[in-house]
Amino acid sequence: MKNDIKKKKNSKPIYYLPLGGAGEIGMNMYLYGYGKEPDTKWIMVDCGIGFADDHYPGVDIILPDISFIKRRKGKLLGLILTHAHEDHFGAVSSLWKELDVPIYATSFTAELLKEKLNEFGEEQKIPINIIKQNSKFNLDEFSVELINLTHSIPEPNALLITIDGFNILHSGDWKIDNDPILGEKTDLDKLKKISEEGCDVLVCDSTNIFRDGTSLSEKEVGLNLNKIIKKIKSRVVVTTFSSNIARIKSIIAAARSSNREIILSGRAIHRFIKVAKKTGYIDPKEHFYDHVDFKKIKANKALIILTGSQGESRAALTRVANKTHPHLKLAENDVVLFSSKTIPGNDKSVSYIKNNLLEQNISVLDDDGYPIHTSGHPRRNEVKLFYDALKPTTVIPMHGELRHLKEHINFAKEYGILNPFLVTNGNLVELMPNSVKLIEKIKNNFILRDGNIHISKDDNSIKERRRLAENGVIVASLVIDKNGVLYSDPVIEIIGLPEFGSNGISIYDTIEDLIDDCIDGLPKARKLDLNNLNEYVRKSIRNKIYTIWGKKPECKVASTMV
Ligand SMILES: [Zn+2]
Ligand SMILES: [Zn+2]
């Protein structure tokens, strides 16, 4: 290898530890370390959120587990944000206080972060260092250089991390698009230059590794949108990812060429357009109406851009489809375009909205039948082009579920990478100075953001919620006198159970009678021991309900003596 000479033979170890993102698409957080413990210094790349599934009732957002780096106080030099997607920077507001580290981001990402923090009333004074695209900076021995990419948001960056002459390329999220509409193309020339020096490790996006071919360019999608919108005679509604400013520019262009005024609806779309205007990605003179102006614009002169492409329950499109939006009311023959893809897990909610719209005779166009969306992640041909330019010695897949990471390993082997290395969340590996090897499996569990509180995924409250949701709850309060006789009627609360059994008798009456029977049948000594009484009645209620319902509800019994 050309660069062997400049590399120190006795270089200190260089580590890689993903805390999120290498096992799911979301929650990206990667650590790079230099030097032996306990003196290892670390840098963090990205700090994103993930989305919880139905297994965690009441919880929408999951966060990476940062306990490993929290135990190394003062050793974390900086947090570098590759771009402003929620899965890369969405956890900053939740975790920054615990991380207490300077942040490095380009201006679009930094502005968006500030905007979000203000919007949510978080008055944290987070030090954000704005760095230029294509620039280079140092954090102690780490040299970090930003490399331009195309993706689906302004200013996405790969990071070239150089330590002791070793080159690690952290790809961030990327695709190859020769007509990106906005920003520069993925800098393959720069990758070729790195290859001349030698790229020791490529840590690479795996999202679309199952997909053959090359993604559609953003420009083609824009032209398709334009053609389709021109033909529509009624009102046009478009939903897309609010962060995709290139797409929004295409939608704006399509609206203008069809002489339509643009109405915006949804907090995220307003936030992104505000920041895009401030950072020069959208002309500050571009005029948008708000949804309160809906009635001012004739249907065939209106194009509405709104949030909700993923069927989010509170988003504008969901409320429009449910006819509960306070301002936007669609009519028959209006056309809704989904310039987006449905993220796995959101399929049911999105289908519900589409069917709901269709029922109202509103047309729905999506990328199933129309080429009006393209992904921001590389398909196999694009990954191949990236490899061709960079010629990495080894590849570590990231940004994927295990199935994506493993497929990426297969792909790399087929390509001819000798030892691609699988690293999942919590696996601490040594990258250099020798060949890549696993050092330790760190205890790594994601954290749930439950309201404003962070809890473990094994928290008892979640287990209880699951049981309550499935089986309902019965609460009974008894008052007995010193002779063990019921002093008054028991107070019974029943939540989440059917009102009547299949025998037609009310569940309430069944429980009331059962409590009488329990009190009558139990010897006095056992009744006067209130703990014993409570447990006996509780078990009796659950068993009785099981014989009627086939399910055992949660049950709490509390007795007092007068
Ligand atoms: Zn992204
Ligand atoms: Zn991402």
Distance between Cα 150 and ligand 1 center (Å): 10
pTM: 0.91
CA of 84 to the centre of ligand 1 (A): 7
**Which CATH code for domain 218-365?**
3.40.50.10710
CA 279 to chain centre: 25
Residues 6+ apart with CB under 8 A from 199: 167, 168, 169, 191, 390, 391, 392, 393
Q: Other C-beta atoms within 10 Å of 470: how many?
A: 12
Region for residue 324 given its phi and psi (left: phi exceeds 0; alpha: psi -120 to 50; beta: otherwise) = alpha
Position of tokens 């002779």?
A: 483
Interval between CA 205 and ligand 1 midpoint (Å): 10
The class that CATH gives domain 2-213+375-456 is: alpha beta
For each of the chain's 562 residues, which pLDDT tens digit applies?
Answer: 444 445 555 689 999 999 999 999 999 999 999 999 999 999 999 999 998 888 899 998 999 999 999 999 899 999 999 999 999 999 999 999 899 999 999 999 999 999 988 877 766 678 899 999 999 999 999 999 999 999 999 999 999 999 999 999 999 999 999 999 999 999 999 999 999 999 999 999 999 999 999 999 999 999 999 999 999 999 999 999 999 999 999 999 999 999 999 999 999 999 999 999 999 999 999 999 999 999 999 999 999 999 999 999 999 999 999 999 999 999 999 999 999 999 888 999 999 999 999 999 999 999 999 999 999 999 999 999 999 999 999 999 999 999 999 999 999 999 999 999 999 999 999 999 988 999 999 988 899 999 989 999 999 999 999 999 999 999 999 999 999 899 999 999 999 999 999 889 999 999 999 999 999 999 988 889 999 999 999 999 999 999 999 999 999 999 999 9
Residue 212 in 3-state DSSP? coil
Spacing, Cα 87 to ligand 1 middle (Å): 7
pLDDT value of position 11: 85
Q: Could you give phi then psi for residue 223, rounded to 5 degrees?
A: -65, -40
Task: Please identify every residue whose CB atom is under 5 Å from ligand 1, which is an ion.
Answer: 85, 173
Residue 47 structure tokens: 């700090």
| Ligand 1 centroid distance, CA of 321 (Å) | 28
Which residues make beta-bridge pairs with 150?
A: 175
Sign (positive or negative) of CA dihedral 384, 389, 392, 395: negative
CA of 413 to the centre of ligand 1 (A): 26
The pair of three-digit structure tokens given for residue 250, joined into one six-digit string: 């295409």
Amino acid at 531: N
How far does residue 212's CA lie from ligand 2's centre (Å)? 20
Report CA(295)–ligand 1 centroid distance (Å): 36
From ligand 1's centre to the CA of 224, what distance in Å? 23
What is the model's pLDDT at position 17?
98
27 alpha carbon – ligand 2 mean position (Å): 8
| Omega cis (within 30) before 433 | yes
Same CATH topology for 2-213+375-456 and 218-365?
no
Instruction: Reply yes or no: is the peptide bond before residue 38 cis, omega within 30 of 0.
Output: yes
Q: Residue 2 has what pLDDT?
A: 44
State the pLDDT at residue 209.
Answer: 98
User: Long-range contacts of range 209-213, CB-CB < 8 Å, 24 or more positions apart?
Assistant: 209/380, 209/383, 209/397, 209/400, 209/404, 209/407, 209/408, 209/411, 210/404, 210/407, 211/379, 211/380, 212/379, 212/380, 212/381, 213/379, 213/380, 213/381
Check if the beta carbon of residue 297 is closer than 8 Å to that of residue 263. Answer: yes
- The whole-angstrom separation of Cα 229 and Cα 184 is 27
* R_g of the chain computed on alpha carbons: 29
| Centroid of ligand 2 to alpha carbon of 189 (angstroms) | 24
Cβ pair 378, 389 in contact under 8 A: no
72 Cα to the center of ligand 1, angstroms: 28
How buried is residue 251: exposed, middle or buried, by Cβ count under 10 Å (0-12/13-18/19+)? buried
Å from CA of 174 to ligand 1 middle: 7
Q: Where does 472-561 sit in CATH, by number?
A: 3.10.20.580
Structure tokens at 24: 């799911």
What ranges make up the beta strands (E) of 35-97?
Answer: 41-45, 50-51, 61-63, 76-80
Ligand 1 centroid distance, CA of 74 (Å): 29
Distance 521 CA to ligand 2 centre (A): 64
Rounding to the nearest 10 degrees, give the CA dihedral for residues 246, 249, 254, 259: 180
- pLDDT computed for residue 188 by the predictor: 97
Can you give the residue ranges of every domain in the chain? 2-213+375-456, 218-365, 472-561
CA of 546 to the centre of ligand 1 (A): 49
Q: Of the candidates 295, 352, 353, 348, which has an alpha carbon nearest to the alpha carbon of residue 321? A: 353
